[in-house]
Structures are given as C-alpha cells and as structure tokens.
Amino acid sequence: MKLSSAKRILAGGLCGIMLVSAVPPAEVMAASDISSVVESNLNIKESQIRQQLTGDLVLPDTVEGLDGASIQYSVAEEDAPYVKVEGNTLKITRPYAGQGNYDFTLTAAVTANDASCVKEFPMTIREGNKDDSYAGYLYVCFANKGGSDVQQIHFFLSEDGLNWTALNGCNPAFLAGSDYTDRVYKTDNVNYAVAEGTAIEETTAGDASVLFPFEGEDQGIRDPYMLRGAKADGSDSDKVWILATDLNTMAPQYGGNWGTMSHDGSTSLFIYETEDFVNWTRRWVDVGSEIEAGAAWAPEAIYNPEKDNYLIYWSCRVATDGYSRNRIYCNETEDFVTFGPTKMYEQEAFYKNWGKLVNANDGYGNIDTSQLWVADTETGDPYGTVYRVVKDETDNHIELMSADSVLDPNVEYDSSAPGRITPYEKDGTLFTTLEELNGAGYNDYQRADVVWNWFRNESTGNHFQKIDQAGMEKYSGAYEGATMFKFFDREEWCVMIDYYGRNSVRYEPYVTYDLSRPDSIRKVSDGYGRTGGDVGCHGGMIPVTLEEYNTLLDTYNSDAGVDNYHALNYISVDKRELEEVLGQLDKAISDTEHYTAAKIQKMKNWKSLGESYAEDPTVSFEKISQVVANAKNLIGEVKPEKLNTWSYEEGNWYYYNEAGEKAKGWLKLLDTWYYLKDDGVMATGWLKLGNTWYYLKGNGAMATGWLKLGNTWYYLKESGAMATGWLKLGSTWYYLKENGAMATGWLKLGSTWYYLKDSGAMATGWLKLGSTWYYLKDSGAMATGWLKLGNTWYYLKDSGAMASSQWIGKYYVNASGAWIKTR
C-alpha cells in the first residue's frame, strides 16, 4: 500500500527551486535528487503503519543524506480541531468517544541545498474509548511454574500485546469459579484430579469452573487457542471459543514418554464456548479415532468465507503409515457443536528441503499450524489473504506461508480420504502397504519420501506458498506453537513463538508491518515481558474490548488473596466530555436569573449522578452519554418567558408548563381536558389515540356528551372516548355506528331489525309509520309472526307490518289487527 509521496512543484509553490546559476555547482543537489532522498529517508513510522495516535508525537527534525536540511511541518486542513504543530512536535487531542477517529494529512516541507520539496503523511487520531472499543489483548495458554508445566487454562491480559500480566496469580482459570471447584482436588504441585463419584455430565455449563477438563483422560489441557464468531449473518458474532488439546504430559501414566503420548493419547479435543467470558459451556469432541490417530494436538480454527463455516485443524500421527510423521488434519463445523468427517489438511514436504537424513528429524513432520486472515487494503475485504505459520519438525523452526483461500481449490474436499494410499514407486519398488514399507529397510529420510507421496493427493490445504523469513527461521532447536495476531490500533502483526528451550521465557514476540514481504519479520529484542516473571506457554491471543477487559478482571482477578496476585487497573471509557459538562452544570446551578428552580433541581440531580459516574472506573459509556445529553439539554434551555400559560404562535396554540416547556399529551386545566401533540400544538377536531377517538372543540376543550357536527350526532363518554354500539342513557337506548354517528330509522343488526326515532331513542311497543303499524319488543327487536298482547292476538308479517282486515290462514283479523274469528 502506498502511504506517502514526494511532490515537486514549480518555483513559487511549496516545492519551489531557487537556482543561483543556470548550471548548479556539482556540490548543490538538484531538486529531483532532494525529492528522492526525502522520499526514501524521511519517514514517520506512525504514518507508515497507520498508527492510531492517542498522544503527542515527536517528528523527525533531520533527513539522513541531507546535512543541514530544514523541515517545516504543517497540517493541510484549516482549523484542524484535534491537531496542531509546535516545532517538530505534533500536539494531539483525541476526539471524544462517539465522535469517530480523525484522519488528517501532515505535510513536511524540506529545504536543503537551495532546493525544496514536500512529502505528505496520512495520519489518524483515535477517538476516546467506548465500551466496545478494543482496549487490550487476552492470552489463553497453559503455564509453567518452576520448570514444570501446569497444563490447565490460564489467562493473561495486556494493554499493548507485548507485556502480559497473569490473572488469578497465574493459577488455573477454573479456580476462579465456584460451581464445580469442590469436585476437583490437587494431586501434586501441578496436577489435578476429579473427585470420585462426580457426575461429569452435570459440569458442562456454568462459571469458570467449567474450564476444568473433567472428561479428559488425564485432567490436563495444553495448547489452547481462541477465536471469535465470524458468520456472514452475524448470528455468532457474540461468541468466543477456546479449543484445547486433551493432554497432560505431566500425568504419571506417561512417564514423560512423548512417543506414548503421540501414539496412545486422547483423540478428543476440548471446546469451550462463552458469550461474556463469565459463563461457559464445555464439549469434549472425538475427532481422531475415525482415522486411527494416535492423538489430537494443538487445535486451532479459522473462518472460511467461501463456505461460511469454520475449519478446525489439529496435529497428529496416524496408524496408516505406522505413525511415521505428524500432519495436520481438519474438520468443518458450523457451530463447534457438530463436526464433519475428518480430512487431511496439511502435509508439508519438508524432507525435500533437506535432501538427506537429518538427525532427530522426527519424521520431517509438520505441527502447530496457525492461520490468520489479513484484509485486502485495496478493496477492504477482510478476507484478502490467509497467512500460515507452521513448525518444521526437522530442526524445529517456524515457517510463514500464504494463500488466497483456506482450502485448496484444486482438491475436492468432500471426496478426499485421509487414509487413502496412492501407490508410490521408489528405487524400483512399488509401495502400497505399510508392511511393504516396513520391510524396505529405509531410514527416516527415505521413508518420509514414500509416506508423503502416499497421501499427496489427499491434502486439502497444501496450496500455501512459502514466504522466506530468515530473521524468524534462523531460530531453531526448541521452537513451536507459533500463533499470530494483529495489533488493533495499527497495521502491524505479531507472531508469537513458544521457545520451550527456555522455561523462564517461553512465548517470544516477532513483529512485521507487512506479512507478505519476505524477510520482514524481526524478533523483538526488548520492551516485552511478563509481570512477576510468570510464564505462559503455547496458546493464542485475541484483542478484547474495554468492557471485556474489565469483565475479565472482575471474573478472574478479583481475589487479591490468591498466591502471586498481580493487581491490574480497570480501563475506563472516555470521561472528558462528562467532566466538561459537570463544570458547566456547576455554573448553571448558581444562575437563578436564567434558570427556574425546577430546572436547577434537575441539574443538581444529573450533576450528582454524573459525579458518581466520574468516580466509577467501570461505568458504561451509555450511562455517561445519558448524563451528558440531559445536562446539555438543561443548560441550553434558559428560563422561559412563558410559564403556565397559553401562547398563540404562527397559527397554533401551545401551552407552556411550570418549567417553561411546551406541554405534550393530555393536559387538565380546571375541569377541562386538552390534548397537545408531540410538537406541542393544541389538538382540535377528531383525534385518534390507539384505537380510541376523541373530539376536541375549536377552543381545544375535550368534548363529552352529545355532539352535533353538521347533521350528525355523536356521543362522547365522560372519558372523552367516542361511543360506538348500543348506549344506554337513563332508561333510553341509542345506537352509535362504527364511525360514531347516531343511528335513526330502521337498523338491521344481524338478522334483527330495530327502529331508532328521530331523537335516536330506540322504539318499543306499537309504532305507526305512515299507515302501517309495527310492534317493537322490549329489547327493541321488531316482532314478526303471531303476537299476544294481553288477551288479544295479532299477526306481524315478515316485513313487520301488522296484518288487518284479512284472513291469515284460517284466522281472521279485523281492522285493528285483532284476531276475532276462525273458519
């Protein structure tokens, strides 16, 4: 990525060139020469690696190769709010948390030998910390005490990724829990065991005590690795997993024999899952037995964007080739709960690099692969290149490789078979079985050639290309467990290598600004270490947020009584704006001229809360923001001229309450209710709130009782709610339609007819409309058929009309509708 450029401009510009004659003397450097020297030799590391600045920066004041050169620095942006130049010092003020990082261009104008040019440096200032800001690093590992490995999960924290402090006194993390610690006891200085009778299946979920390997074959854990969820839909973005080897090399049954451990070890892995670093679940997953593995060591995993899943990979030897060498095998998983079949992932042909038998070559195998995605700076794709570090077991050094994909695009993953032998001819003999190979009398180098070729077609991840790194590869003999992480505040990567030949040190850092560049990785010579000399071994590191960092302290470093305890401070969110606002509140509280008593009391309340937050090292940024926002609102609203009064403004009525604020919602003044909308405007006319209608008169007063609008009557209850359906007032029934309009005349509800008079009152008894009589029952329902009133029968037709002077079947009714005779 091109980070800077030298610019030359004609005379009169920033790069103006002043010549004393048409032909400059030989000792005077030409403009093109000064530009090339400046471009090559004037560098600001923080710009090259896009370091997010958090404090003042001293800038170079000389240019190598340009004796006597002067440099004048400036910031291109006018009135740059967070940066200014004082001499050769860049004075930095971080933006408040929530305002975002600030990018700017620093310009260096260089003058030497009567020539001038400029060089620009892109720079970034980091905003203040929020809860979700990356603020440190978590290192998970097993530890070493007094030269003996303590093979349990241990946690270390760091703010810079180079200097680490062990949590819980460098004691196993599971001891910080309480759910199941009573079911574990210590057998000696470094080993633990599960109490007899423990129901292990009941220990798989809970607090930190879940981190003990209850199911393990020897209750130990090595080589833990940690990663975050990365699914494309974000469904697991809050998850973190720890993967670990089920092995305790200090267990007495092994007697320190690594051959036994690698041939007859556990083929299961431990997988721990959390969403908060407090509560955990544990799984014990067998991945190796299906390929007759001798063990399953150093598991790691990487997200595969092409399949939107994860590839978990681990080292082992297999019975198929007589446990000749270590390789990397793998499984796919969507969730670290269920796993696909085991495949071969990486089988390096390291034996070819040596070309001869090498003593103690350990089969020329490869172990401890670790992989890391690096973003494409051109496109912004977070999955640009995947880098791999792997151990060459021949002389125990680490190599770096890279590829564009996790899996080899030229190998069909699903149809590959990790135990399938492709016959290989060597020295005129075709080898197809282990028995044939064992009978050949080959040394380890010759044997390595056969077994590599047997499986050359089955490896699903051997497409990586080596990147020479002489500064790292020269360290050999006792190096393994390499892992990588990116510093979260700059374009710089750290390769950590476990130097197990020196138990007082173990993990050592190597850094580079560009993993793709050969020979760019250099070993850090100083400025790194462990608090109190605590030793962490093979493990993994991830950046953690401020909130996570403090949670880890609360959970795993809260007991100052543990042996070897190291106190660590919380990292606080940015409180500068809060402190500024508290000062403003102090002044406003005493300003009774411009603020009401009610508002001053509110200010005091927020000031008290804000002061408590200022003293709390773990307060959230959300809480601070709440105080800041409310305080600013109060300070910005001086005492109003209008209190408890109506105000007519630009065609609308508003009501100002006792705080001088526009009232909103329902407002009762004396016995009258009003409604003020969200913008404070007094409502008039129909108003729907939820499913209820109200009517506000022209003066804003809420209507109750009968209301006539045009030719239509409505009824508003005492609550103001518009009535619908049947309504009884006194002894009279009315019917209000769905729109609230009072019904009159005939009304059919279901199959029943009713009659509402002009007044809206429901009719009962005899009703004469024109020359026709009808009868409405006490319920208001129109009668049909025969009807007996007193001792007299009447007949009401289907239309409800009373029959008169006619025969109804064999019955005769007279002019008054009464039945008087029968045929």
The pLDDT of residue 30 is 56
Determine the pLDDT at residue 15.
Answer: 36
Give the closest residue to 772 by CA, choosing from 797, 791, 793, 753: 797
The CA distance from 345 to 625, in Å, is 49
pLDDT at 659 exceeding the cut of 90: no
Domain 766-823 is of which CATH architecture? Answer: Ribbon (2.10)
Q: Which pLDDT belongs to residue 22?
A: 31
* Mean pLDDT to the nearest integer, 712-736: 97
pLDDT value, residue 361: 63
**pLDDT computed for residue 671 by the predictor:** 92
**pLDDT per residue over 330-349, tens digit each?**
999 999 999 999 999 999 99
Comparing 10-19, 317-326, 671-680, the range with the smallest average pLDDT is 10-19
Q: What is the pLDDT of residues 53-87, one digit of tens each?
A: 999 999 999 999 999 999 999 997 777 889 999 99
Express as a percent the part of the chain with pLDDT over 90.
87
pLDDT interval class at 26 (50, 70, 90): very low
- Please compute the mean of the pLDDT values over residues 232-236 and round it to a whole number: 98
What is the pLDDT confidence band of residue 142, given thresholds at 50, 70 and 90? very high
CA 661 from chain center: how many Å?
40
Q: Tell me the whole-structure pTM to 2 decimals.
A: 0.76
Q: Check whether 100 has a pLDDT greater than 90.
A: yes
- Give 507's strand partners: 498
Are 109 and 132 a contacting pair, CB within 8 Å? Answer: no
DSSP string for residues in 247-295: --TTSGGGTT-HHHHHHSS--EEEEEEESSSSSEEEEEEE-SGGGTBS-
More confident residue, 25 or 115: 115
Residue 19: band (very low, low, confident or very high) from pLDDT cuts 50, 70, 90: very low
Q: Is the pLDDT of residue 113 over 90?
A: no
Query: Could you say which architecture CATH assigns to the domain 5-125?
Result: Sandwich (2.60)
CA distance 228 to 373: 13
Q: pLDDT tens digit string along 481-496?
A: 999 999 999 999 999 9
Q: What is the mean pLDDT of the chain?
A: 93
- Is 12 a residue whose pLDDT tops 70? no
pLDDT for the residue 217: 85
Q: Give dist(CA 499, CA 396) in Å, integer.
A: 10
Residue pair 91/84 in contact by the 8 Å Cβ criterion: yes
Per-residue pLDDT tens over the stretch 426-470: 999 999 999 999 999 999 999 999 999 999 999 999 999 999 999
- Tell which wins on pLDDT, 60 or 21: 60
Cα-Cα-Cα-Cα torsion 326, 327, 332, 337, nearest 10 degrees, comes to: 10
Note the pLDDT tens digit of each residue in 738-764: 999 999 999 999 999 999 999 999 999
Task: Work out the pLDDT band at 9, boundaries 50, 70, 90.
Answer: very low
134-420+455-556 belongs to CATH 2.30.30? no
Tell whether the model's pLDDT for residue 4 goes beyond 50.
no
